[in-house]
Structure 1
Amino acid sequence: MVVNRRNVLKAIGVGTLGIGSAISTSSSITATTDDSMHYHNELYGPHFPDPTIHRDNSGTWWAYGTNMDRNDGETDSQERLVPILKSDNLHEWSYVTEAFESRPGWTYGSIWAPDVHYYNDKWVLFYSLEPRPWDSGEFGIGLATSDTPDGPFTDHGQIIGDNDHAGGGTIDGYFVEQEGTPYLFWGSFQGIYVMELTSDLRDWQSATLQQVAGDAYEGTTVFKRGGYWYMFVSTGTCCDGYSSTYEIEVGRSTNLFGPYTDPSGTVLTDYNSHNAGIAQLTGNDRFPAPAHGDITTDDNGTDWFVYHAYDRDDQEFVDGVPARQLFVDRVEWTDGWPIIGGDKTPSLQSVQPNTADSGIIADGIYEIKNVNSGKLLEVANAGTADGDNVRQWSQNGCSCQRWWIEYVGGDEYRIINQNSNRALDVPDGSTTDGESLQQFAWWAGGSQKWEIVDNGDGTYRIRNVNSGDIVDVNESSTADGADVIQWPWTGNTNQRWTLDFIETVQPTDDGRSW
């Protein structure tokens, strides 16, 4: 079943393919199907911020989160000491227990921002600890270990604190092992740093400390894919309820220690203001402030980002403050960059993890021919600019008549013109019947994503994810230059297309598809 999952309005679309700094917002999010192949966000409440995730050898996922009380003062709290969830499918979660039987003793305060990995036959838990009352003393990162993922975890004390170095913000650790050497990334709005740990993970090598991102960030996640290290960082305000501006930005580097650059080519150390870079996950009207998460991979090789966000329509509260709840969304890798949630915002509904999620046609370069006219879909006058018109024309061998069709998951494709390297797009996210189609640099919005539906007669209809309308030749014209528009499905031949495969071209080093 083909799903029209989101109604996304395009706010801005600029730049070249893969490096646009567009901002997408969703005016409404509604699910159009609820079958056994899909799940709905949010996944667990009422309160599970800063999730970290790891999968054991049996295939079970374990998630660990924050449950601290910032307003607790000097009295004890009912907060859970790192709540633990588990799931066999990554989208149905159940509460297990707390990671700790008692609070770590090196300072009295809340435990938060956990980071869990399996290392040297142990489950290792790095955690942040803040004193009570808030900001009354030194922040720091501690270590605990367990033989099993459900604990209890044995505390080994503080590894590093604010007083151990020149800066501050010593929270939000993230562990990485490279070629047998353990490292810890950390930092919160006073620079992101990396340092080498001792072999037992209980101390750090002071001479190895170096900065890898600016003061704009916290909540680091580091992930190796292909020839790149990707650093996912949170920016903005996390904890102001529905007005929070939290989001995810990403830099990549061929070296674990950087420099990490974002899709615009800017080095992350140059960002020192909230929300100044290019978001790869940002809020929408339903789900504000998505960020501070972790990444995992399912059995099909699909990557998933686990994070927290608010839900305006399911208003759970903790001590009168809106709860941050658990979300999971697919990561699409396009042009060498991660796009989370399909359009860089949290999805309400998505294809379940571990589902055989593949397109009905193979990725490749195609000529797209209208059944009624016999003419090809092309960019007018071989244009290469944003906003150039898409029309039909007799076959002439121009690369402007060839399109790279690429499956991006969840029944959705992007359709990129081979000549211009720009995407087939309904301008401004219009849902108006009769809107002319144009090309724009890829920005991952619903107006640039298409569902390809087999008509059962050797032809296909091409449906826009945002509007639900079909690619149509205006007024069933057979003339060269006739406008191509979107229109509701009628079944007429001017809405039926053949997809004539030309070739598959391997991606180039820059991540593009040709």
Structure 2
Amino acid sequence: MLKKLLCALVLSTGAAFAQEVPPPTLPVLPFNPKNPGIHDPVMAKEGDTFYVFGTGPGIATMYSKDLKTWTEGKPIFETTPAWVLEALPHFKGDIWAPDVIFYQGQYHIFYACNATPGKPDAAIGHATSPTLNQKSPNYKWTDQGKIVQSVLGRDQWQAIDSNVIVDDAGTPWFVFGSFWDGLKAVKMTKDMKGFSHPEEWHTIARRPTAQKPYEYGLQDSQIEGAFVYKHGDYYYLFASFDMCCRGVNSNYHVVVGRSKSVTGPYVDKAGYDMIDGNGTDIAIGDGVKYAALGHNSVYKIDGKEYFVAHGYSIADGGASKLIITELKWDANGWPVVQIK
């Protein structure tokens, strides 16, 4: 999700992303209820309805009763939260890569804003609502402000692509970051409004880079889209390697490692640590339906486990489409993904 790096990604919602770099030839498609466009999707279920959130103006939303036919919802934010423009005065793009979690009686959305795409000039915010149902009289997102910010020339990580997981002890952890020095995990306060030990950061995965500090090139260290999920005795770290946002020329794909602890070490099937750039490939483009796919999330809902991601549709000229498929596990406890 260094998302809109070289492209002003156009989703099939018809909304073009405002970026500093002219877009490549990506299609502008109307919303398709049977094959909707989305980027960086996350999902939750409230009552009998599934809700998906993704990158877009104000955070894109859609909902479905059956995961087959979707209705486009209104963005979460009508205007950019005030704190964003204070922290990032040059921000004027779309809100990136939300994460959603139900915790302590309300829904929490975490979201990223990047003022300079492709650079760590970014911040992650937090909002809460008692419901996801936009037709409910109780529906209202209340912004809770900034969680963390990355600064050019100071930080080797980027404040985007957040994911929150609550461990077995009930402690929430904030997982985020991309490129350069990789993915981080930090313990949160119980109200999820900040870090309980801001000095205690854990780097849980990175890819090697030949760059000098603060060069911020995108030619290597290509890792982002962290999502941590507990299954059995292990925490599984899903991450996306290589480049998104280039339509049919993307080479994005999902890798995984696992650990007995949220903070790692995460090792792949061969036993190699993700801190050294390793990871087991579990979802890649097939060259027929999808050129590439990535930025996934994983859920257990009503006893079934789901793998959610976006894929660059070859039939639609590289448009980014919603992928939801059942997640399976092999005999050794490793996830198996079959994209249909």
**Aligned partner (choices 299, 319, 322) of residue 323 of structure 1:** 319
**Residue number in structure 2 paired with 1:209:** 201
Which residue identity lines up with residue 35 of structure 2 in the other structure?
A: Y
1:252-271 equivalences under 5 Å are 252-271=258-277
Equivalent-residue separation in structure 2 for 1:264 and 1:231 (angstroms): 15
Question: Greater CA radius of gyration, 1 or 2?
Answer: 1
**Aligned partner (choices 120, 123, 143) of residue 140 of structure 1:** 123
Equivalent-residue separation in structure 1 for 2:66 and 2:267 (angstroms): 33
**Aligned partner (choices 69, 81, 86) of residue 104 of structure 1:** 81
**Residue number in structure 1 paired with 2:224:** 218
Equivalent-residue separation in structure 2 for 1:42 and 1:241 (angstroms): 21
Q: Secondary structure at the match of 1:310?
A: strand
1:66-145 equivalences under 5 Å are 66-67=55-56, 80-105=57-82, 106-107=84-85, 108-109=91-92, 110-131=94-115, 134=117, 138-145=121-128
TM-score by length of 1: 0.51
What is the deviation of 1:295?
Answer: 1.4
Q: Which runs of 5+ in 1 are unaligned?
A: 1-40, 68-79, 316-321, 348-514
**Residue number in structure 2 paired with 1:302:** 304
1:193 corresponds to 2:171: no
1:291 corresponds to 2:268: no
1:196-248 Cα shifts (integer Å, max 9, x gaps): 11222222121221101113421011111111111111111001110111000
1:310-389 equivalences under 5 Å are 310-315=312-317, 322-334=318-330, 335-341=332-338, 346-347=339-340
TM-score by length of 2: 0.76
**Aligned partner (choices 167, 173, 176) of residue 156 of structure 2:** 167
1:481-496 equivalences under 5 Å are none
1:314-371 Cα shifts (integer Å, max 9, x gaps): 33xxxxxx42110111212002111111xxxx21xxxxxxxxxxxxxxxxxxxxxxxx
- C-alpha contact 2:120 2:155 (8 A) present in aligned 1: no
Which residue identity lines up with residue 83 of structure 1 in the other structure?
A: A
Equivalent-residue separation in structure 1 for 2:58 and 2:203 (angstroms): 30
Equivalent-residue separation in structure 1 for 2:160 and 2:225 (angstroms): 8
Specify whether residues 182 and 137 from structure 1 end up closer, same or farther in structure 2 by C-alpha distance, changes over 3 A only.
closer
Q: Secondary structure at the match of 1:242?
A: helix
What is the deviation of 1:146?
Answer: 1.1
Specify whether residues 135 and 278 from structure 1 end up closer, same or farther in structure 2 by C-alpha distance, changes over 3 A only.
closer
**Residue number in structure 2 paired with 1:55:** 45
Specify whether residues 135 and 166 from structure 1 end up closer, same or farther in structure 2 by C-alpha distance, changes over 3 A only.
closer
- C-alpha contact 1:81 1:111 (8 A) present in aligned 2: yes
- C-alpha contact 2:120 2:156 (8 A) present in aligned 1: no
Equivalent-residue separation in structure 2 for 1:267 and 1:332 (angstroms): 23
**Residue number in structure 2 paired with 1:64:** 53
Q: Secondary structure at the match of 2:275?
A: helix
- C-alpha contact 2:45 2:301 (8 A) present in aligned 1: no
1:246 corresponds to 2:246: no
1:257-281 Cα shifts (integer Å, max 9, x gaps): 111001111110010xxxx643100
1:93-137 Cα shifts (integer Å, max 9, x gaps): 211211112111222332110000111111100001011x53587
Which residue identity lines up with residue 100 of structure 1 in the other structure?
A: F
Equivalent-residue separation in structure 1 for 2:120 and 2:239 (angstroms): 25
Specify whether residues 134 and 257 from structure 1 end up closer, same or farther in structure 2 by C-alpha distance, changes over 3 A only.
closer
Which residue identity lines up with residue 160 of structure 2 in the other structure?
A: I
Equivalent-residue separation in structure 2 for 1:136 and 1:169 (angstroms): 7
Equivalent-residue separation in structure 1 for 2:253 and 2:300 (angstroms): 21
Which residue identity lines up with residue 109 of structure 2 in the other structure?
A: L
